[in-house]
Structure 1
Amino acid sequence: MPAPLRVQLSEQDDQKLRELSLAASTSRIVRQRAMAIRLNAGGLNVPWIARHLDQHEHTIRNALRRWQKQGMEGLWDAPRSGRPRSWKEEDWQVVEDCLQELYRPTSQQLCETLADARQVKLSSRQMSRLLKKRAVAAPQALSGLPVQAEPDTNSAIES
């Protein structure tokens, strides 16, 4: 049986991992890796940490090994291959402004506005995906179709 994995943390590392594990802006996987490392440094074993975080033991061991080899850099994954994004977060502000100004904009209208304002060309399909991913609370913006009002059930009951 191999020796149990144990990590030692300095006060600064522990504080930084605590901040990462509590930050809502940090990705879920980085938060879980930070929690696993802190729990292991606190004396808990891999099987207990895996059950607590609802992860496989191999996932916890990999996170601990990455910490031992790479330190803080081991918390994040390497960049993925593929084409880089054609839009930036600043471009999203233009889309949000357009959603507030226009009455029921279509994805195509949003794409044209973004192309005029920021010189970013997106397809209407990609714009629809972005709107869905961002959970925009304007369903008419997703399809361009008018939203139908729900029937008023209270008035039907009173009659």
Structure 2
Amino acid sequence: MGARLRIFLTREQDRTLLQLRTAEVPQKVKDRAEIIRLNAHGWYVEKIAAHFNLTLQTVREVLHNWKSKGLEGLWELPGRGGKSKWQEEDIIFLEECLKKEPRTYNSLQLAQKLERVGVARRRHRSIKLSPDRLRRVLKKRGSIGSEQGRVTKASKTR
């Protein structure tokens, strides 16, 4: 069995990690900060892994990242995951269309409009979003429908 993996923190480091619990940071960062604090307070890797329902390797990676990178090691590296096919200007264009034009669009029509505009503006990139993905992007931004918040009982079907 190898040597015990142990972190030693200064008071300032411990205070900083404690403050991360209430800060506006992702939950993963809060959990990583707490893993480091628990290790510094004498918890073994196995106990921490069981407490957070993580694998031993994950806890060890958090501790090694802290040793090598410090506070920076708590955050995810940029560039992870799939890249967006759309840009902010594309969604702003669609939102403007929804505000200006009196008609309503469904997500399929908006996706087709976005693709046609990309071709019409002779862009070097093709903007092909599925209607489902486009709907989720617009919903996340809070820009669904051409008249936001105006759904009446008369327009609902039973």
TM range (shorter): 0.5 to 0.7
Calculate the TM-score normalised by the size of structure 2: 0.60
Residues 9-158 of structure 1: matches in 2 within 5 Å?
9-26=9-26, 28-80=27-79, 85=84, 87=86, 91=89, 94=92, 97-98=95-96, 101=99, 103-105=104-106, 106-109=110-113, 122-125=127-130, 128-132=132-136, 135-136=139-140, 149-151=156-158
Distance 1:99 1:24 in 2: 34
Contact 1:7 1:64 in 2 (8 A): yes
Kindly tell me: are residues 132 and 45 of structure 1, through their superposed partners in 2, closer, same or farther at Cα, counting changes over 3 Å? same
Contact 2:115 2:128 in 1 (8 A): yes
Displacement of 1:46: 1.2
Stretches of structure 1 lacking an aligned partner (at least 5 in a row) = 142-147, 152-159
The question of 1:8 aligning with 2:8 is answered: yes
Displacement of 1:35: 1.9
Displacement of 1:64: 0.4
Displacement of 1:23: 3.8
Distance 2:18 2:138 in 1: 28
Distance 2:7 2:16 in 1: 15
Contact 1:37 1:63 in 2 (8 A): yes
Contact 1:98 1:113 in 2 (8 A): no
Calculate the TM-score normalised by the size of structure 1: 0.59
Stretches of structure 2 lacking an aligned partner (at least 5 in a row) = 147-154
Matched AA of 2:133: R
> Deviations 1:119-148 (Å, cap 9, x if unpaired)?
8963232x742542675478879xxxxxx8
Distance 2:61 2:25 in 1: 23
**DSSP 3-state at the match of 1:64:** helix
Distance 1:14 1:135 in 2: 40
